[in-house]
RNA sequence: GGAGUUGUAGCUCAGUUGGUUUAGAGCGUCCGCCUGUCACGCGGAAGGUCGCGGGUUCGAGUCCCGUCAAUUCCGCCA
């Protein structure tokens, strides 16, 4: 029995016996010869069955997207792009596909609507172009992890069931927890700060977070994966920004190294890494630039339109896709952000192609100050006391971030919605499949 | 939370100021033909309670009201 070979590993060597396990992507029947396009996770190739072959009738009865095991020999040819095709000797149907498909796996001009793409996730990921997204996300995961492990971070896993809110602003999912109420974590924020107080010095987490916001946009989900970091014993906020910049750079380089060709082929995107430093603007600077450019600007936070405009400005002026907006007003930041003064926090958003992808800040580690800031935001002390206690016993100065990596991938590939980057997307109106 | 748009065949969409018996097209599916296809080609067939409920009218896919679903933008955020 031959060992299975992945399609991308087939060597164009005349007469070599091979075994492929794949889906049948296309069947082109042509009288006395049947052309099959086979697809596995690594790629596609052509196989042929001629009249007279014992499998000729079987080949004609196949349905597209059936799972099969194909044995045959490699035959070099000028008739295919790859320079070879498989002369089929045996077909074993592992599982037949029903017809017709609810949505086409291979599109012929018409683009399946967003709704159908979500309804039929299992077929969407069969597409080469789409499965590349998951490969890129996986590459991002591993480079995120490798980079931070290399910087002596410890990976932790915090609970997603919580006794009280983890952020003040966003809406919470409530659930029955035996005889009381629990909440789904909106962020690992409070727990990763506990890890700093615990003396772990540098921690990170990649995990799901939940937001009960009825946001109907192309970049929000009610459940998404947050890429978090918290680093202790920092001398200043600058250290956090530098760490983040180097990390993002390293992620893009690793994606580029492994998938640049496929990304160019399927998405037409090139040169997405960067070498020059990420430009920085304070919030006040950003606002005044926007004002000069004639935008009707708002008072505190950047609106969606303003973020876009700043992205365009930075692209024009610095030829950079990224920009740090620093010195956010205290009014639009949570109570635990460290304040430079009454009005301004030591915090920043990283904007990529005009979209917010990371929020980062130094945290307030002094118990008394933290308490004041909590009161200042009109929050109750009692339900948060378990958290406040972390800071009573010598918690080191620290800072970190929450990174929405799917937004990075979405904008990197020029996709229209975060739905298309999500293995399964969750929104206020989408809970299936 | 606010504003808009769209629901017609498995998919993507036409469907005129309401008016022809059987609501169309392309793709897909099924059947037949084809020895080099590669969006194969050619011939044929099946496939629809026009999202759902009410109303106006001699007559509604088309107009009105309600409802459900999806979707886009804003706000909020990652």
Q: Which of residues 158-197 of A touch strand B (CB under 7 A)?
A: 167, 169-170, 187
Position A295 scores a pLDDT of 75
Q: What pLDDT band is residue A397 in, cutting at 50, 70 and 90?
A: very high
Position A383 scores a pLDDT of 85
Q: What pLDDT band is residue A12 in, cutting at 50, 70 and 90?
A: confident
Q: What span, in angstroms and rounded, lies between the C-alpha atoms of A197 and A232?
A: 9
| Closest CA relative to residue A234, chosen from A158, A334, A346 | A346
Give the mean pLDDT of A181-203.
94
Residue A50 has pLDDT above 90, yes or no: yes
For residue A228, give the H/E element and its range.
strand A223-232
Other beta carbons within 10 Å of A275: 6
Tokens of A318: 């610095």
Range with lowest mean pLDDT among A21-30, A86-95, A238-247, A294-303: A294-303
Q: Which of residues 363-422 of A touch strand B (CB under 7 A)?
A: 402-404, 406-407, 416-419
Position A166 scores a pLDDT of 64
Which residue is listed with tokens 């596995």? A40
Give the CA-to-C1' distance from A46 to B14 in angstroms.
Answer: 37
Q: What span, in angstroms and rounded, lies between the C-alpha atoms of A190 and A218?
A: 28
Residue A25 is given by DSSP the state E
- Protein-covered nucleotides of chain B (CB closer than 7 Å) are 1-3, 10-13, 26-30, 33-41, 69-78
Q: What pLDDT band is residue A250 in, cutting at 50, 70 and 90?
A: very high
- Considering only CA atoms, name the residue closest to the C1' of nucleotide B69: A429
pTM score, whole prediction: 0.93
Say if CB A244 and CB A360 are below 8 A apart.
yes
pLDDT in tens, A110-139: 889 988 999 999 999 999 999 999 999 999
Give the CA-to-C1' distance from A112 to B16 in angstroms.
Answer: 28
Position A276 scores a pLDDT of 93
Q: What span, in angstroms and rounded, lies between the C-alpha atoms of A166 and A424?
A: 25
pLDDT in tens, A64-117: 999 999 999 999 999 998 999 999 999 999 999 998 899 999 988 888 998 899
Yes or no: domain A7-95 corresponds to CATH 2.40.50.140: yes
Say if CB A210 and CB A222 are below 8 A apart.
yes
Residue A169 has pLDDT above 60, yes or no: no
Q: What span, in angstroms and rounded, lies between the C-alpha atoms of A226 and A7?
A: 34
Each domain of chain A, given as residue ranges in start order, spans: 7-95, 128-420
Position A70 scores a pLDDT of 96
Q: Cα–Cα–Cα angle for A355, A156, A361, nearest 5°?
A: 40
Residue A170 has pLDDT above 70, yes or no: no
Q: What span, in angstroms and rounded, lies between the C-alpha atoms of A75 and A152?
A: 51
| ω into A100 cis (within 30 of 0) | yes
Residue A277 is given by DSSP the state P
Give the CA-to-C1' distance from A288 to B77 in angstroms.
Answer: 23
Position A393 scores a pLDDT of 95
Give the mean pLDDT of A264-288.
93
Asked if the Cβ of residue A430 lies within 7 A of any atom of strand B, the reply is: yes
Give the CA-to-C1' distance from A312 to B27 in angstroms.
Answer: 39
Position A432 scores a pLDDT of 80
pLDDT in tens, A340-392: 999 999 999 999 999 999 999 999 999 999 999 999 988 888 888 999 999 99
Asked if the Cβ of residue A218 lies within 7 A of any atom of strand B, the reply is: yes
Range with lowest mean pLDDT among A102-111, A161-170, A304-313: A161-170
Which residue is listed with tokens 């080191």? A396
Residue A168 has pLDDT above 60, yes or no: no
pLDDT in tens, A138-149: 999 999 999 999
Residue A96 is given by DSSP the state P
Beta strands (DSSP E) in A41-195 are 43-50, 67-76, 84-95, 154-155, 161-162, 174-177, 180-184
**DSSP-assigned letters across all residues of A184-209:** E-S-SHHHHHHHHHTT--EEEEEEEE
Give the CA-to-C1' distance from A96 to B9 in angstroms.
Answer: 25
What A150-153 contacts at long range (C-beta under 8 Å, 24+ apart), as own/partner pairs, is: A151/A202, A151/A243, A152/A201, A152/A202, A153/A202, A153/A203, A153/A204, A153/A229, A153/A231
Position A380 scores a pLDDT of 86
* ipTM of the modeled complex: 0.86
Q: What pLDDT band is residue A158 in, cutting at 50, 70 and 90?
A: very high
Report which of residues A133 and A165 the model is more confident about.
A133
CATH topology of domain A128-420: BirA Bifunctional Protein; domain 2 (3.30.930)
């Amino acid at each position: 029995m031959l060992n299975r070979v992945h399609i991308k590993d087939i060597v164009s060597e005349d007469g070599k016996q091979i075994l492929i396990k794949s889906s049948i992507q296309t069947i082109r029947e042509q009288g006395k010869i049947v052309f099959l396009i086979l697809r596995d996770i690594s790629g596609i190739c052509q196989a042929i069955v001629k009249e007279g072959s014992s499998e000729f009738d079987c080949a004609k009865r196949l349905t597209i997207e059936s799972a099969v095991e194909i044995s045959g020999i490699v035959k070099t040819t000028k008739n295919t792009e790859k320079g070879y095709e498989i002369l089929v000797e045996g077909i074993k149907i592992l599982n037949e596909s029903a017809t017709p498909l609810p949505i086409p796996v291979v599109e012929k001009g018409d683009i399946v609507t967003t709704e159908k793409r979500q309804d039929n996730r299992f077929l969407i990921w069969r597409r080469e172009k789409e499965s590349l997204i998951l490969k890129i996300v996986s590459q991002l995961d591993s480079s995120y992890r490798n980079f931070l492990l290399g910087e002596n971070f410890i990976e932790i896993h915090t609970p997603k069931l919580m006794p009280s809110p983890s952020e003040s602003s966003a809406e919470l999912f409530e659930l029955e927890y035996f005889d009381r109420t629990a909440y789904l974590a909106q962020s690992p924020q409070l727990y990763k700060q506990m890890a700093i107080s615990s003396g772990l010095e540098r921690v990170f987490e990649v995990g799901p977070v939940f937001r009960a916001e009825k946001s109907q946009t192309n970049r929000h989900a009610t459940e998404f994966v947050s890429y978090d970091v918290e680093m202790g014993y920092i001398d200043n906020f600058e250290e956090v920004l530098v760490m983040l910049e180097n990390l993002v750079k390293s992620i893009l380089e690793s994606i580029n190294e492994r998938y640049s060709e496929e990304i160019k082929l399927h998405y037409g995107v090139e040169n997405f890494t960067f070498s020059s430093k990420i430009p920085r603007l304070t919030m006040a600077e950003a606002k005044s630039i926007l004002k000069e450019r004639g935008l009707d600007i708002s008072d505190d936070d950047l609106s969606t339109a303003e973020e876009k405009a700043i992205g365009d400005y930075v692209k024009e002026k610095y030829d950079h896709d990224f920009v740090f907006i620093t010195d956010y007003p205290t009014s639009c930041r949570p109570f635990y952000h460290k304040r430079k003064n009454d009005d301004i926090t030591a915090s920043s958003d990283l904007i990529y192609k005009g979209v917010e992808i990371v929020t980062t800040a130094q945290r307030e580690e002094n118990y008394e100050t933290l308490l004041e800031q909590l009161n200042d935001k009109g929050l109750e002390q009692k339900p948060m006391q378990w958290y406040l206690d972390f800071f009573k016993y010598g918690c080191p100065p620290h800072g970190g971030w929450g990174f929405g990596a799917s937004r990075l991938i979405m904008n990197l590939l020029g996709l229209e919605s975060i739905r298309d980057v999500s293995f399964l997307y969750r929104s206020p109106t989408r809970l299936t499949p």
